[in-house]
Amino acid sequence: MALLTKSDPKHPCNLLDTPDVPAKISVAGEIKARDRDGVAVVGTRKASPYGITTAQKIARALARRGTTLISGAARGIDQAAHIAAMDAGGRTIAVLGQGIGYASSKEHRELLERIARNGAVISEFPDDAPPRPWCFPKRNKTIVALSSRVVVVEAPLKSGALITARLAKEAGKPVYAVPGPIGRPGSRGIYMLIRQGAQILEDPEEFAGVRMTWNENPALTNLSKEQRSMVEIISKRPAETSDLAARLGMDVSLASSYLLDLEIKGLIKRLPGGYYEGCL
């Protein structure tokens, strides 16, 4: 872990361009020049399955574009985005509202260590400092400073993600909001942002600036011909195991094995009733 001052050449240049730059920041991992164009993906800790899936799709699209994903490593939307970006071979940066040496659980510590290997973990707080309510607005300000754009996936009306969106708007940076199901708590803050002028994000691939054919998509690398066919079918329309087996002319038990492998890889997800849908 490195302790960087404002005069250090390794200090993130985006932070130096903003007022109230922290006098010192701790960095585990490495900051690279390409991180200057990073995109923040933030949202509620109490994320719905829809929100988690959407954050993952956005993160994977950004990773395929080579864009660094920035978030706060909190449960819910943040962690889903970090993990999906790394699983897709991308870089990610976590900005903490606590010291880098403080972790709430073994799983959280392992996540931060993985992020540091695939990007960086940043904090302006002492190494062993626990999270405090006043730390998170400062954390959110740093997320905005490091990012070129900010995406809010799910946010109740009382959400730190809305603070991040407000700070981004004040900094003159584009804010995107992902529409969610009407009436759900996590959608209320989103529709408020849209009424306030946030841009609507409907298509993660279009937002990331990349569209790929199936053959070009690295997520499909090393899949069998049958598995690739499954992903393509399911991504167009949800299907269940026996239907897929019949369409591809294979035994149901073999189809089930293929589907389990695809689910573990994060390419599909299981729905109620035994159906599967694509995550690409």
Domains for the chain: give ranges and CATH numbers: 14-208 (3.40.50.450), 218-278 (1.10.10.10)
Least confident of 37-46, 74-83, 180-189, 269-278: 269-278
- Give, for 27, the enclosing helix (H) or strand (E): strand 24-29
Question: Which pLDDT score is estimated for 95?
Answer: 96
pLDDT range class, residue 17, cuts 50, 70, 90: low
User: Does pLDDT of 212 surpass 80?
Assistant: no
The pair of three-digit structure tokens given for residue 179, joined into one six-digit string: 């529409």
Please give the mean pLDDT across all residues of the chain. 88
Distance CA 244, CA 242 (A): 5
Helices (H), the chain: 13-16, 49-65, 77-87, 106-117, 135-146, 160-170, 185-195, 204-208, 225-236, 241-248, 252-264
Tell me the pLDDT tens digit for each residue of 213-254.
555 555 666 788 888 889 888 877 888 999 999 999 999 999
β-strand partners of 199: 176
Which residue, 267, 273, 147, 143, is CA-closest to 214?
A: 267
Tell me the pLDDT tens digit for each residue of 149-163.
999 999 999 999 999
Residue with tokens 């730390």: 135
SS (H, E, C) 67-116: CCEEECCCCCHHHHHHHHHHHCCCCEEEECCCCCCCCCCHHHHHHHHHHH
Q: Are the C-beta atoms of 88 and 67 separated by less than 8 Å?
A: no
CA of 49: how far to CAs of 45, 94, 271, in Å? 12, 22, 10
Phi, psi of 20 (to 5 degrees): 55, 45
More confident residue, 228 or 7: 228
Question: Which pLDDT score is estimated for 90?
Answer: 94
Question: Which pLDDT score is estimated for 22?
Answer: 75
Q: Are the C-beta atoms of 122 and 26 separated by less than 8 Å?
A: yes
